[in-house]
Every structure is written in C-alpha cells, then in structure tokens.
C-alpha cells in the first residue's frame, strides 16, 4: 500500500461514479421530463440527474465531436469539482497519480519547483536545490505570471503543474514577479529528470564559523520514504566525529510524507511523544501522531532549526513540534502555512481523488494552515542574501574558504543559529562546575 505526499493512500475506500453511457442514462433536449420522485433534502439525486443531462446535451450539440467523449467530460467534471474545494485538492488522471507516487520516491521530471495558489496567484513554495528552477535563481515567494507566454491568472493548480512538468530536454519559459522587489523577469528553463537526495550536506561546520565547538549541520530537502533512515545514518556519522550541537536546515523544504516527518522527530524526542494531531469533520480524521518506539537513543545535544517561507507541510510539523516541546530554537522566518491533510483515494481506472480531510495541529494545538510556524529568533534574508544561499547550495565548485566567507557575509540565518548554539554551550560550561559542587 502506497502513501500519499501528506498522509497516506487508501485504495479504495469509497467512490461514486455516475455511469453515463448510451445504454445507462440517455437524457437529451428531446427527451420527456423524467418523473420526479420526492427525495430527502441534500440527497443529491436531482443534482446527479442534472449533471447527466448536461453531459448528454454537450455530447449531442457541441460543435467539436472529438472533445465530448464520456471519458473527457467526466474527467473534466471531476477536475473542476476537486479544484473548487481548495488549492490543495485535485483530481489526478492515471498519469498524474503515477507522477505523485514518483514524487514520494524522490524522482520525477520537471523543473524542480513546488507551487501553490496563494491569494489566487500561482506562487513558488520552494525551488528544490540542484534543479533547473533553483539553478536559474527562482526563489520561494516568486509569483509565476506566465508559462510559455500564457497567463496563469485563470489557471488552476493542477493545470499549472501539468504544464510545468514534462519530458527531460523540453524547454519552458516562465515570467516571474518577485514581490519583494517588484521585479518582473523571464526565465528560460529546460526540464530534467530530477532525483532528489532527501538528506544533504551532513558535516561539521568549519571552526572559522563555530570557534572551539563542534557544530554539526544537515539539510533535509524533502520528507520521502528513505528520509528517516538517511537522517539517522547522518547523525551517526556526525556523532562519531564528536558533534556537540546541531543545525537542522529545513529552509525551502516543501514537506512530503507525514510518517517520515514523525520518524525524523523520533531522533530528538522520547518514544511515544505526541508531535502532531489532525482534526477533521469525520471522527476517522482525528488522530494523534507520536514518535516511534525502538529508535536509537541519542544525547540531548543543543539543536537549532532553520526555516523560511519555503518551509511547508512536513517541515512545519517538525519545526512546530520541536518549538512547542522546547527541544529546539527555531531561527529564520515564519513558514509557509500549509497545514492541511490530503487523503488520496484511488479509483478503479487508475485515477485518484486527492482532497483535504483535516488540518494539522502542533502539540500546543496551534493551527499551521494559513498561519505557519513563527521562529523564536526572527532573521529575514534580503533577495540578494537568498540568492547567495541558493548559490552555495547549487554550486559544488565553491571552495571551503570562499564558502565560509559567503556564509559569514550572506547567510545571516545560519550565523544567528550558530551564535544561539554557542551561547547555550558556553552557558552549560559555566554552570556545570556549580552544579557539580552542589551535588558534592
């Protein structure tokens, strides 16, 4: 059984299909009005009959007969139905559904940009590093005005994603508005096969940045199936090198699998610690999610988590839990605010419905959706600084000494995180003798 990007895949639980074929329902303008049978309020029967009649009228009289197959009309109706609910609900045809499953396995074709509708505008949530979008300089928060010259003003999210994706080697042009500077710029990109390593950059930071302390650093790019295992191995390596504190970088992490995010939290919190809950209209959507048992116990080393407006969904769950449970200091900017649960229900023909069923709540019962997670230490980046950080992540030819200087001058979020950790460790050193004296 596969899992969806946000929660899980249930296949199938419940679906409703209106059988519209010449032999099943045939309503046309020439048909007599069907006999009406009193129905309970909101039963839906009259609306289904209305839909059926609309389909038949279109099939009968629409000028282009190549566009009116039952398959095309019903798929179009389901796309419209799901997209009318909220920006995160969608109908996926079989190809789209397979693409979504590829996403959870860290491979897909496209530009490497996560998008969402924000205030009706197609907005970049995250440009994933080492992808065409990130290398071109596209930033979180950028608004896509045009795709190949066509306005995105009336484009729904699913249609936009379908246009952005494509076979490797295909060209695409984006017109981008950067709200922070009001700059409009055209980007010529080429689609590629994207293979994401979900855990990157695991290392001890240069002593020129950390002084006498051994501070580890690791980025989680996205929460996928192998993330928790890869992250655990990275922590093992850092501990062998004598790590005393850790910077966990979740900037521009668009989220992913809920179970993966919960498993990562298990590296920092005791077993059976509630880290997130969901609440929906149905009783079945009310769940508490806790850290797993049997995870290797680690020292309670000082921890800083870096976030920005490109941190979404699973990244917000991790940051929110560590903040509420006082396990980490959160540094950066308020996160994106994508805190809703989408269930994916597969239909018999290989298509699927993905729709919102609940909202995420942090351990303190704070709603993530629309609010995001506010940092303990607010440190915004200018567009110039954001570009410098993106360059550091996407250019492996930058030397160690040059990288240190770029971090010192441009990555003020990382520097503030390091300073916070150094302050905690200095305080611990100063108070340790007093505590030992009291014990004696």
Residues 397, 394: Cα–Cα separation, whole Å: 9
Reading the block at residue 168, the tokens are 């490797």
CB 377 within 8 A of CB 420: yes
CB 56 within 8 A of CB 27: yes
Q: Choose the catalytic residue: 313, 323, 351, 410.
A: 313
Is 349 marked active-site? Answer: no
Reading the block at residue 86, the tokens are 């909220």
**C-alpha pair distances (Å), 326 with each of 158, 269, 304, 320, 321:** 38, 10, 11, 10, 8
Is 338 marked active-site? Answer: yes
Residues shown for the chain: 440
What residues contact 67, with CB distance under 8 A and at least 6 apart? Answer: none
User: What dihedral angle (degrees, nearest 10) is formed by the CA atoms of 217, 218, 221, 227?
Assistant: -160
Q: What is the DSSP letter of 367?
A: B
Is 313 marked active-site? Answer: yes
Q: Choose the catalytic residue: 135, 146, 323, 338.
A: 338
**HSE of 159 in the Cβ direction (CA atoms, 13 Å)?**
16
Q: Choose the catalytic residue: 99, 206, 324, 419.
A: 324
Residues 267, 271: Cα–Cα separation, whole Å: 9
Supply angle C-alpha 401, 402, 404, rounded to 5: 65
Catalytic residues: 313, 324, 338
């Amino acid at each position: 059984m596969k899992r969806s990007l946000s929660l899980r895949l249930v296949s199938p639980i419940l679906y409703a299909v209106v059988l519209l074929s010449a032999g099943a329902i045939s309503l046309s303008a020439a048909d007599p009005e069907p006999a009406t049978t009193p129905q309970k309020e909101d039963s839906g029967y009259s609306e289904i009959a209305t839909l059926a009649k609309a389909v038949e009228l279109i099939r009968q009289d629409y000028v282009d007969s190549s566009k009116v197959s039952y398959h095309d009309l019903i798929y179009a109706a389901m796309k419209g139905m799901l997209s009318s609910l909220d920006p995160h609900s969608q109908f996926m045809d079989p190809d789209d559904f397979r693409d979504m499953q590829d996403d959870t396995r860290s491979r897909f074709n496209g530009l490497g940009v996560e998008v969402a509708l924000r205030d009706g505008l197609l907005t970049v949530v995250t440009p994933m590093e080492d992808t065409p979008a990130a290398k071109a300089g596209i930033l979180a928060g950028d608004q896509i005005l045009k795709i190949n010259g066509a306005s995105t003003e009336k484009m729904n999210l699913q249609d936009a994603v379908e246009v952005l994706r494509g076979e490797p080697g295909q060209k695409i042009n984006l017109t981008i508005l950067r709200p922070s500077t009001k700059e409009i710029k055209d980007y010529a990109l080429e689609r590629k096969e994207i293979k994401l390593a979900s855990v990157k950059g695991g290392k001890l930071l240069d002593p020129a940045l950390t002084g006498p302390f051994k501070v580890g650093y690791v980025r989680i790019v996205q929460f996928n199936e192998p993330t928790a295992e890869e992250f655990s191995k990275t922590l093992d390596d850092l501990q062998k090198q004598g790590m005393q504190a850790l910077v966990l970088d979740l900037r521009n992490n668009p989220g992913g699998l809920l179970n993966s995010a919960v498993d990562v939290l298990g590296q920092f919190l005791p077993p059976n610690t509630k880290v997130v809950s969901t609440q929906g209209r149905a009783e079945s959507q009310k769940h508490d999610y806790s850290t797993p048992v049997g995870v290797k116990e680690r020292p309670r080393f000082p921890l800083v988590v870096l976030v920005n407006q490109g941190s979404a969904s699973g990244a917000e769950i991790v940051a929110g839990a560590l903040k509420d449970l006082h396990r980490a200091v959160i540094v950066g900017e308020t996160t994106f605010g994508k805190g809703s649960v989408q269930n994916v229900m597969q239909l018999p023909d290989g298509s699927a419905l993905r729709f919102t069923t609940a909202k995420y709540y942090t351990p303190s019962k704070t709603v993530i959706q629309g609010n995001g997670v506010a940092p303990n230490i607010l440190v915004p980046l200018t567009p110039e600084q954001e570009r410098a950080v993106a360059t550091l992540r996407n250019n492996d030819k930058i030397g160690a000494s040059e990288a240190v200087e770029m971090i010192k001058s441009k990555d003020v979020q990382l520097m503030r995180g390091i300073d916070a950790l150094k302050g905690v460790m200095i305080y611990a050193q100063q108070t340790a003798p007093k505590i030992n004296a009291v014990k004696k």
